[in-house]
Structure 1
Amino acid sequence: MSSSPRVTPGPLPPAASRRTGAARRSAAALGLAVATTVTGLAVNAAPAGAAAPVGPVFQDGMAQPVFSSNRNDWIREEVWVETPVDSDGDGRNDRVHAEVTRLRETETAGLKSPVVYEVSPYYAGGNDITNHDVDHELHQAVRPGKGWQDRGGKRLDPANDERLAAAAADDSGAGGADASLTATGPQPVISTSHESNWLPRGFAVVHAESLGSGQSDGCPTTGGRNETIGAKSVVDWLNGRAKAYDASGQEVKATWTTGKVGMIGTSYNGTLPNAVASTGVKGLEAIVPISAISSWYDYYRANGAVVAAGGYQGEDTDVLAEYVYTRADQQICRSVIEQLAKAQDRETGDYNAFWDERNYMNDVNKVHAAVLVAHGLNDWNVKTKQAAQWYEALKARGVPHKIYLHQGGHGGSPSVDVLNRWFTRYLWDQQNGVENDPRALVQREDKTLVQYAEWPDPAAKDTELNLAPGDGGAAGLLTPDKTRKGKPVTETIVDDATKPAQTLADAVTSPNRLAYKSAALAAPARLSGTPRVSLRMSFDQPAANVTALVVDYDENGKAKIITRGWIDPQNRKSISRTEPVKPGSPYSLDFDLQPHDYVFPAGHRVGVVLLSSDYEYTIRPAPGARLHLDTTKSTVTLPIVGGTGALTSAS
């Protein structure tokens, strides 16, 4: 859905005057409600009845909804926040388009409100794009754009993009964005998410459009430093350290806020809170990153391999930047996006300065905001490593932390009560004891919520398992037995990228995978943490993919893939350095799989499946490469609660 141009009184501010037309809106695709935008202050008459309190009310450690829920009573104002960066190179500092929704008591009764803040590149929708081809030989760069590749590329329809849907959902846990409004003005507001939950509890809400999107200036750079600074500048403005202007060019000051800010969001919207927190900006007191990225390298790469975000095979930083590049000027950022395509290095998959700029783990020591991490255990878009490594680093540095893991995929917020306790503690500074609660809230396979002291479970022990070969392509044995008898035994995988991992895991026999199963479990066994494999392999070609799966096999032999991991053997020593593979020479490959928390039921078998190319995630070369595994020098390490003793077999 496109909107009409915004009608603004008087001259436009410098940021807005550089636009040639209205930004495209896609509120229908986003699932966002729209409402009349009021430039400046708009205080409407209060409804009949008792006067609302002039201060917040707290009960059971949570802010109570005692203020008006009638959005006609709220103030909405639009600003452009000036940043200290010029990412589009036009000689003027970029400005971030933002909208504030606050209680009228901040204008009439001296109320000072903390802020719930979400910034996104998705509010203005997305462009129709074409992904990179992935059906080619390894260590070759194939550029997108010359027609949609039927197998490798995927043309994204913004109306069907799950990331837009996740980002559009009301991250407050209410189950969807406010949907009761209709457009009565010339253009919809940026977003109304969060308002119905937080305004009645005394908070203000700010939504902002990330650089290069909507009515913001600058260029999208898929996690680049300029995006971090753009989002941070709104926090600076709320604390009096940056300037903002309205549509007529008049400076606007945030005199109505306490300066305490909590950021929240899903997907890209959740990644930007991690990025801003990593700057250590003063005033950012809490963040809730949902399905968020902590290192962009781990979003598009894995141990040197070019690996897709689940559902987006062939996407990369340049494609995503093109997708969110929705500002009116569609030419000024072309060279920036072209540079992304070069610097991301799809040919080798190596970690380099480009990725290092987008690695928020580098600055985790600057984080002081209390962090409530939320992630789906089955999120294969933003994979669980993103949450696990961020959370582990925060724990090590003593940052206030909590984690919520659920059984869903991409997206999924904690409940309003969980969020309320978090924001009440750190934004209203109410001593509700949330920091003394169990750190982990995990939704189990039956959908019950279980609290654990910490995550991964401290009772999980690294359990090393060995691989005993099968016979004629059938599954071998996964066993804690450390006895090694006889000469080395080698098994072979013949790569066939056309066969999905699920097909290979289910196969009773196959030349295209190696499978190993434990004995049937006598009791349930819980995995909590990060599995690892140590493989001794040789190759008959100078390049190959290597993929490992952890699988739950039920009583009928049906496979359920629990987690997976990948490596490029040319990066066996370092993700930053490619070293050639000499055909026939054995190499040690040590790599991690995606972290997980899973209970294998009694009677099931723990399985490990090894294959070469992963149809859904890796580059897909022509079939035929042969990989040889020395089973006597290869192991699998699983973090099992209770250790080896928990893997006892059924009698």
Structure 2
Amino acid sequence: MSVTRLVTGSGAPTALRSPRSARRGAAALGLAATMTFAGVAATSAPVSAAADPAVGPVFTDGMAQPVFSTNRNDWLREEVWVETPIDSDGDGRNDRVHAEVTRLRETETAGLKSPVVYEVSPYYAGGNSVANHNVDHELHEALRPGKGWMNRGGSTKDPATDERLAAAGVAGVAEGDEAVTGTGPQPAISTSHESNWLPRGFAVVHAESLGSGKSDGCPTTGGRNETIGAKAVVDWLNGRAKAYDATGREVSATWTTGKVGMIGTSYNGTLPNAVASTGVEGLEAIVPISAISSWYDYYRANGAVVAPGGYQGEDADVLAEYVYTRADRQICRSVIEDLAKEQDRVTGDYSAFWDERNYLNDVDKVRAATLVAHGLNDWNVKTKHAAQWYEALKARGVPHKIYLHQGGHGGSPSVNVLNRWFTRYLWDQQNGVENDQRALIQRENRTLVEYPEWPEPTAADTELNLAPGTDGAAGVLTGDKTRLGKPVTETIVDDASKRALTLADAVTSPNRLAYKSGALTDAVRLSGTPQISLRMSFDQPAANVTALLVDYDQNGKAKIITRGWTDPQNRTSISKTEPVKPGSPYRLDFDMQPHDYVFAAGHRIGIVLLSSDYEYTIRPTPGATLHLDTTKSTVTLPLVGGAAAFTAANG
């Protein structure tokens, strides 16, 4: 065990309030510590628990230890409004971001300088009752004003609202925290992160995104103004922006080192990606959890209008309306109306509107060490967001790590994992985290396994063919082209009322095509992004196309592992709609959501094709017919061990 002591401050030293076991253990073992004062390193005697002569954090085995007070009444709190360089609500003055700081008393009394754990959210003030778009209409149909809206919440408590607020910790109490009961100013935003990081010497800042709570400006669902607003807090912490208290007095952040780590889940995790993409100085680390990397991929997929899981019919305008909780409820009306027009639910095309909300455009500017966390079964913010962001950071040499778990939306790495990350990049302790294994994955049996990188470096794209079945029964998923036989055209009759899992489970159905491998004689691991290549024709000028990757157990029961969607009218570009001529065959190449999954021995790997997906796509009137040329259609799976592994295990 190694113990490091960082001494800060000047003048009369103050003893730490709460000596903890890590320091006591160091003293008992007689371990030497490294002391740093005014930038000069020296060797000291063992750290003593009886009377500590200096104020500063303690590091054991590369992690900051909870040696400061855990009593919230000992902490200092202040409320500020940070000025931004933009006026997104058009009121003639620059927008201000409402933020609250929680810091140690030692930053005031003993000269302690703290790095900052920072979370910004549009959810802290709650959410409005909103209505989602109707999805039961014909494809490429523009709904008339006043038509096709449905209440998200129903007649009772809105579970979607509850989920969004819970993910953001809106109630002000995160898991492991307690209600604030002290006297004096109390935070109106949140207490999340405080119990983890204040005792370890960090400060915590919570801020409300533009258009929400006590912040000015307008919500724009990932627009540039939201990025600038969140960035302004980092600038203030580094002396480059002004902030004011409730009386209008200017407030400076003299208590911080200027090193900032952003963290959050969902929208709260998306904003760290956005701010990091500006390259702002002082943002040293981010932990985006279930975070969006491109808003197009949240509400669209390969030209198709596709909902986030659990929010059928939601779109950028609906989410903006939901988080528009500032006191003035009229000033941003025109902004939200423009969102509704520019998001384009008719064609689903990628446009300048979506390009503004694509943080991958500026990934070259990212310098913040990034710890990506995502649920492998997150169908709200789908896994593509984590995979493409992580891949782009890898390619550019940004310090990176990924944590993938078996849950859905949300799910943070452990405090120890976060501690090593923040200690390395915010306290600048050389704990070697950059030399750790890059990927931490929770396997199907819930054990955590470390891997050198993700996707698994030994995974190789494996092209498999679709051999037709008979009378609607499942065909064969095979790597052997000799099994294809003569050219065969199979058909799918669209019925959007039938759910994907029901169709995958069906022994026969006119509404889907299914192809299964043989029973596996050994486990086969998928790691990466499956790809679909189909040769199809249509009897109508518009159709949805959906593909499922399915695990069939020994009893033939289906489990959907991942899925993908496309609009045939965007077959050559997500930015361009091209009419489909009924009867003409087209090549459709599209991706499924990335995954890391082990197909167990005795199971079968399946591919299921359907048209509309009840839970995600627009749901037109049933009856459209899709024709698949099986001999010219393939699926490519990134399998560990590649084609040889599939062939060996395919019984």
Instruction: Return the TM-score normalized by structure 1.
Output: 0.90
Contact 1:100 1:204 in 2 (8 A): yes
SS of the aligned residue for 1:483 comes to helix
Q: Is the 8 A contact 2:77 2:185 kept in 1?
A: no
SS in 2 for 1:533: strand
Name the counterpart of 2:103.
102
Aligned-partner residue type, residue 477 of structure 2? L
Q: Secondary structure at the match of 1:242?
A: coil
AA matched with 1:645: A
CA RMSD between the two structures: 2.2
Question: Equivalents in 1 of 2:186, 2:490: separation in Å?
Answer: 63
Q: Using the alignment, how far apart are the partners of 2:375 and 2:368 within structure 1?
A: 22
Structure 1: how far apart are the matches of 2:482 and 2:355?
A: 43
| Structure-2 change in CA distance of 1:143 and 1:240 (3 Å) | farther
- Once the two structures are TM-superposed, the CA of residue 159 in structure 1 deviates from its matched residue by 7.5
Hey, what's the Cα distance between the residues in 2 that align with 1:525 and 1:346?
Answer: 39
Partner of 2:79: 78
CA contact (8 A) 2:77 2:187 kept: no
Q: CA deviation at 1:189?
A: 2.1
Paired amino acid for 1:97: H
Q: Deviations over 1:189-216 (max 9, x none)?
A: 2100000000000000000000000000
Change (3 A) 1:231 1:562: same
Q: Which amino acid letter does the alignment assign opposite residue 235 of structure 1?
A: V
Map of 1:62 onto structure 2: 63
- Secondary structure of 2:424 counterpart: helix
Instruction: Name the amino acid aligned to 2:226.
Output: E
How far apart in 1 are the matches of 2:18 and 2:107?
19
1:51–1:570: structure 2 CA closer, same or farther, 3 Å change rule? Answer: farther
> In 2, distance between residues paired with 1:147 and 1:497?
17
Q: Cα distance 1:270–1:553, how it changes in 2: closer, same or farther (>3 A)?
A: same
Match of 1:391 in 2: 390
| Displacement after TM superposition at 1:168 (Å) | 1.0
Q: 1:178 is matched by which residue type in structure 2?
A: D
> What is the DSSP-based 3-state SS (H/G/I as helix, E as strand, rest coil) of the residue aligned with 2:582?
coil
SS at match of 1:276: helix
**Stretch of structure 1 that moved more, 236-245 or 143-152:** 143-152
> Does the 8 A contact of 1:135 with 1:152 survive in 2?
no
The 2-side partners of 1:150 and 1:469 are apart by 43
**Alignment deviations for residues 112-143 of structure 1 (CA, whole Å, 9 cap, x no partner):** 00000000000000000000000000001336
List per-residue Cα deviations over 1:318-346 (Å, max 9, x = no partner): 00000000000000000000000000000
Measured in 2, the distance between the counterparts of 1:450 and 1:530 equals 20
Q: Which of the pair has the greater relative contact order for Cα pairs under 8 Å at 6+ separation?
A: 1
Query: By how many angstroms is 1:179 displaced?
Result: 2.7
Q: Equivalents in 1 of 2:156, 2:612: separation in Å?
A: 22
Matched-pair contact (CA < 8 Å) for 1:407–1:443: yes
Cα shift at 1:155: 9.7
Q: Percent identity of the aligned residues?
A: 84
Q: How does 1:190-589 map to 2 (within 5 A)?
A: 190-483=189-482, 487-589=486-588
Hey, what's the Cα distance between the residues in 2 that align with 1:170 and 1:396?
A: 39
Determine the structure 2 residue equivalent to 1:641.
Answer: 640
Q: Distance in 2 between matches of 1:314 and 1:501?
A: 17
- Quote the offset at 1:166 in angstroms: 1.3
TM superposition shift of 1:165:
1.1
Would the aligned equivalents of 1:533 and 1:636 in 2 still touch at CA under 8 Å? yes
Give 1:607's aligned residue. Answer: 606
Using the alignment, how far apart are the partners of 1:355 and 1:583 within structure 2?
Answer: 30
Q: 1:277 to 1:107 in 2, by over 3 A?
A: same
SS of residue in 2 equivalent to 1:131: strand
Q: CA deviation at 1:485?
A: 5.7
Alpha-carbon distance, 1:479 to partner? 0.2
Aligned to 1:616: 615
Specify the SS of the correspondent of 1:77: strand
Distance in 2 of aligned mates of 1:203 and 1:101: 9
Superposed CA deviations along residues 131-160 of structure 1, whole A, max 9, x for unmatched, are: 000000000133686585379999983774
Where do 1:111-126 residues align within 5 Å? Answer: 111-126=112-127
Partners of 1:363 and 1:256 lie apart in 2 by 31
Q: Which whole-Å CA distance do the structure 1 matches of 2:133 and 2:154 have between them?
A: 5
Structure 1 outlier segments of 4+, above 4 Å: 45-53, 143-148, 150-156, 182-188
Cα distance in 2, alignment partners of residues 65 and 208 from structure 1: 24
Measured in 2, the distance between the counterparts of 1:333 and 1:624 equals 42
Return the alpha-carbon distance in structure 2 between the equivalents of residues 445 and 48 of structure 1.
Answer: 40
Distance 1:104 1:483, change over 3 A: same
- Asked whether the 8 Å contact 1:516–1:607 carries over to 2, the reply is yes
Q: Deviations over 1:361-402 (max 9, x none)?
A: 000000000000000000000000000000000000000000
Say if 1:292 and 1:573 are closer, same or farther in 2 by CA, change over 3 A: same
- Secondary structure at 2:164 match in 1: helix
Q: Which amino acid aligns with 2:66?
A: P
1:407-436 deviation per Cα after TM superposition (whole angstroms, max 9, x unaligned):
000000000000000000000000000000
- Distance of aligned partners of 1:170 and 1:105 in 2 relative to their CA distance in 1, 3 Å threshold: farther
Aligned CA distance change for structure 1 residues 150 and 282 (closer, same or farther; 3 Å): closer
Q: Give runs of aligned pairs for residues 46-57 of structure 1, distance below 5 A.
A: 54-57=55-58
- Paired residues of 2:276 and 2:368 also in contact (CA < 8 A): yes
Cα distance in 1, alignment partners of residues 150 and 67 from structure 2: 55
Which whole-Å CA distance do the structure 1 matches of 2:314 and 2:121 have between them? 19
CA distance in 2, matches of 1:285, 1:46: 27
Amino acid at match of 2:563: R
Residue 88 of structure 2: aligned partner = 87
Does structure 1 conserve the Cα–Cα contact (< 8 Å) formed by 2:524 and 2:649? no
Q: Deviations over 1:65-87 (max 9, x none)?
A: 00011111110000000000100
Q: Does the CA-based 8 Å contact 2:170-2:190 persist in structure 1?
A: no
The whole-number CA distance in structure 2 between the counterparts of 1:176 and 1:141 is 44
Structure 1: which 5+ runs fail to align? 1-44
Aligned pair count reads: 605
| Closer/same/farther in 2, CA of residues 237 and 635 from structure 1, 3 Å limit | same
Amino acid at match of 1:352: S
Q: Within 5 A, what are the aligned runs for 1:139-158?
A: 139-142=140-143, 148-149=149-150, 157=158
For the residue of structure 2 that corresponds to 1:336, the secondary structure is helix
Distance in 2 between residues matched to 1:48 and 1:527, nearest whole Å: 48
Counterpart Cα distance in 1 of 2:572 and 2:350? 12
- What's the counterpart of residue 9 of structure 2? none
Contact 2:180–2:186, Cα closer than 8 Å, also in 1 = no
Could you list the per-position Cα deviations for residues 420-460 of structure 1 after superposition, in whole angstroms to 9, with x for gaps in the alignment? 00000000000000000000000000000000000000010
1:10-29 matches, cutoff 5 A: none
Compute the displacement of 1:162 (Å).
1.4
Partners of 2:580 and 2:334 lie apart in 1 by 35
Secondary structure of 2:472's match?
A: coil
Give 1:180 shift. Answer: 3.2
**Structure 1 406/84 Cα, relative in aligned 2: closer, same or farther at 3 Å?**
same
CA contact (8 A) 1:222 1:317 kept: yes
Unaligned runs of 5+ in 2: 1-14, 20-49
From the superposition, tell whether residues 578 and 116 of structure 1 become closer, same or farther in structure 2 (CA, over 3 Å).
Answer: same
Contact 1:73 1:103 in 2 (8 A): yes
Contact 1:125–1:158 (8 Å) recurs in 2: no
Q: Which residue of 2 aligns with 1:23?
A: none
Structure 2 letter corresponding to 1:141 = A
Distance 2:300 2:259 in 1: 36
